[in-house]
């Protein structure tokens, strides 16, 4: 699907694995008493997993198809490409890389 997409430099393009719709997430927290408290998008501070759809030639540690754990809020909106929303980050903002989906944390 993303075969014709060629990022430049060290740009890493990815799509999020979780189902949130915003760049900062839309998660909720559960208190000890069981109360569910939604978090505002501006306060989402958790790291997130994404699937790499393209990596520039200077992004040597990742390749398309890898799963990456990105530091909290260290991504920016990319664009919509072939109907899918993609995001971008830099390699120095990636905390971990795996090619095994079972190792990723699902939200």
> What mean pLDDT value characterizes the chain?
80
Q: Is it the case that residue 1 has pLDDT exceeding 80? A: no
Whole-prediction pTM: 0.73
38 vs 7, residue with greater confidence: 7
Lowest-confidence range among 2-16, 21-35, 80-94? 21-35
Q: Is it the case that residue 84 has pLDDT exceeding 70? A: yes
Instruction: Give the chain's domains with CATH numbers.
Output: 1-15+45-107 (2.30.33.40)
Q: What element of type H or E holds 70? A: strand 67-70
Contacts of 89 (CB under 8 A, 6+ apart): 12, 14, 50, 68, 70, 74, 75, 76
Query: How many degrees, rounded to 5, is the angle at CA 100 between CA 60 and CA 24?
Result: 75
Confidence category of residue 11, pLDDT binned at 50, 70, 90: very high
* 6-41 residues labelled b (16+ CB within 10 A) or e (exposed): ebeebbbbbebbbeeeebbbeeeeeeeeeeeeeeee
């Amino acid at each position: 699907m993303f075969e014709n997409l060629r990022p430049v430099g060290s740009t890493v393009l990815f799509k999020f694995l979780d189902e949130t719709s915003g760049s900062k997430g839309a998660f909720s927290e559960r208190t000890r008493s069981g109360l569910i408290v939604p978090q505002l998008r501006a306060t989402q501070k958790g790291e997130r997993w994404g699937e790499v759809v393209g990596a520039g030639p200077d992004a040597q540690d990742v390749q398309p198809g890898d799963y990456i754990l990105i530091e909290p809020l260290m991504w920016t909106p990319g664009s919509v490409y072939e109907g899918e929303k993609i995001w971008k980050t830099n390699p120095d903002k990636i905390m971990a890389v795996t090619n095994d989906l079972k190792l990723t944390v699902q939200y």
